[in-house]
Amino acid sequence: MKTGDQIVQDLPWKWRVQGKIFIIGGLGYMFDAWDVALNGFLTPLLGKEFGLSVGERGLVATANLIGMAVGAVAWGTIADRLGRKKAFSLTLLIFALFSVVGALAPNYAIFLIFRFLAGVGLGGCIPVDYALVGEFSPSRLRGKILAAMDVWWPIGATLSGVAATLLQPLPGNWRWMLAVMILPALLLFWVRRGIPESPIYLAKAGREQEARHIIDDLVARTGAAREPYVIEPPVEENGSRGLRAALSQLRLVWAFSPRVTSAAWLLFITIMTMYYVALSWMPSILIAEGHGDYAAFAKTTLMTAVGIVGVLVSAWLIEAVGRKWAIGVSAPVSAAALVGFAMFLDVKSAALLWLGIFGFVVQLTIPILYAYVAELYPTRIRASGFGWASSASRVTSGFIPLIFGGLLWPMLGLTMTFVVLGAVVLAVVLWMAVAAPETKGRPLDRITDPSGDTVAVRT
């Protein structure tokens, strides 16, 4: 007899059912992208207004990304302990609140504090949204659906660039760039209240009747044939909360598989560092090469816009060649494109071409990476496993903009900095090849080891 988890994962895909969750979850992810991309546009504007050094400008992205790192861990733990739905709604509400007050910040120090707190709220969107969407998705389509989730990222980053480019000529431009996000974020918070709780989470939490109610409703709404199923008994929890709960989940994540977790963390850290460096500093790099603010903003927006095509291609690629091959090839190629951009920076047409190649290829990599890591962990620690990996990348990436602007770029030069970054990315994908399994076509809560054997995961 099937379990409730298997019933959900074997359902047919319907846009009015799982598609609604995909869209609403994706819109939250869009705001995450909008906010991260905004750091790159805020950096030169705040530098001019407050007379900041290059190192101080790097703190714009650092404060926000460190806040997101804290949020990724905190909200991932909340989602695993208290439910996806509660975390799903509250993340955006906190983000909207501190974005409002950030737009009103009277000085740079207070602005950084509010950017950190907004990041804490928004940092929970990725682990919570991916856990929820993944747990409602049919297993045969899950890879494509989770990869397609990332189409919301270049859309959000592009909207951020368009808004920044249009608002750049206005007095108080950076304040308007923050304020313009508030109304849609609050509207999305209201819409999110109608999303059901994950039945897979409810089953694992021992809330059998609630899980059955949602599973039966999903079966009816998708038109699937009714069949009997069982709800497996939950695993007893120790009842810890707060920091202890987060650390407990961290121990579970590493105890599950040190090899898999090390590969997941290193992939996240290197690939997302590469992307955040480009996103956070590209307007400043272009301005330093003689481009005007408007042109620099527009060309950075082009880099994010071509990523929309990259994400759409990744949704096909993830199932065509598998997760590991797709990441293993596209990640080093995207790093090489940054090197090409730096080498031909004085040839504007060539630099723009390399920038477009980077924007396209890196958005092949990131959605597949997110889908891959979300699949590596069992239900009980899925949001935490993803959240801790995301947090590790946010912490590292949070300091990298500061290190890049204050140390690497001035000392090594742009080309050598990107060469070093590319070499690290290549080393990490080689470690992934031997340390982590391929998850293509496998049901959730089962994992394939590198030798090809399928083993059940105790949850």
- pLDDT per position as a tens digit, 105-114: 989 999 999 9
Instruction: Write down the pLDDT at residue 245.
Output: 67
Has residue 313 been placed in a domain? yes
Name 293's Cβ contacts closer than 8 Å, sequence gap at least 6: 44, 45, 168, 283, 287
Q: What is the pLDDT of residues 46-100, one digit of tens each?
A: 988 888 887 788 888 888 888 887 887 777 677 777 666 777 677 777 887 888 8
Has residue 271 been placed in a domain? yes
Has residue 458 been placed in a domain? no
Has residue 459 been placed in a domain? no
Chain-wide mean pLDDT for the chain? 82
Residue carrying structure tokens 């920091």 = 243
Has residue 219 been placed in a domain? yes
Q: What is the mean pLDDT of residues 256-272?
A: 92
Q: What is the mean pLDDT of residues 248-259?
A: 86
Q: Which two tokens stand for residue 108?
A: 């740079």
Has residue 419 been placed in a domain? yes
- Of the two residues 107 and 144, the one the predictor is more confident about is 107
Position 248 confidence tier, pLDDT thresholds 50, 70, 90: confident
Q: In 3D, which of 161, 150, 149, 159 has the Cα closest to residue 362?
A: 150
CATH of the domain at 377: 1.20.1250.20
Residue carrying structure tokens 């105790």 = 458
Instruction: Write down the pLDDT at residue 16.
Output: 87
Residue 330: domain span:
2-230+241-439
Using the predicted structure, report yes or no on whether residue 241 has a pLDDT greater than 60. no
* Backbone CA torsion sign across 393, 398, 403, 408: positive
The total domain count for the chain is 1
- Ramachandran class of 363: left when φ > 0, alpha when ψ lies in -120 to 50, beta otherwise: alpha
Q: Which two tokens stand for residue 343?
A: 């080498």
Q: What is the pLDDT of residues 173-216, one digit of tens each?
A: 999 998 887 776 776 677 666 778 888 778 877 788 888 998 99
Instruction: Write down the pLDDT at residue 210.
Output: 87
DSSP classification of residue 241: -
Do the beta carbons of residue 124 and residue 92 sit within 8 Å?
no
Has residue 109 been placed in a domain? yes
* Backbone CA torsion sign across 413, 416, 420, 426: positive
Grouping H, G, I as helix, E, B as strand and the rest as coil, residue 424 is helix
Do the beta carbons of residue 76 and residue 388 sit within 8 Å?
yes
Instruction: Write down the pLDDT at residue 88.
Output: 66
HSE at residue 367, side-chain half, CA atoms within 13 A, is 35
Position 242 confidence tier, pLDDT thresholds 50, 70, 90: low
Has residue 42 been placed in a domain? yes
Instruction: Report the distance separating Cα 415 and Cα 306, nearest Å.
Output: 23
Using the predicted structure, report yes or no on whether residue 23 has a pLDDT greater than 80. yes
Do the beta carbons of residue 67 and residue 117 sit within 8 Å?
yes
456's enclosing H/E stretch is strand 454-456
**Residues of the chain with pLDDT > 70: what percent?**
88
CA–centroid distance for 84 within its chain? 16
Using the predicted structure, report yes or no on whether residue 254 has a pLDDT greater than 80. yes
Q: In 3D, which of 445, 423, 278, 220 has the Cα closest to residue 336?
A: 423
Grouping H, G, I as helix, E, B as strand and the rest as coil, residue 420 is helix
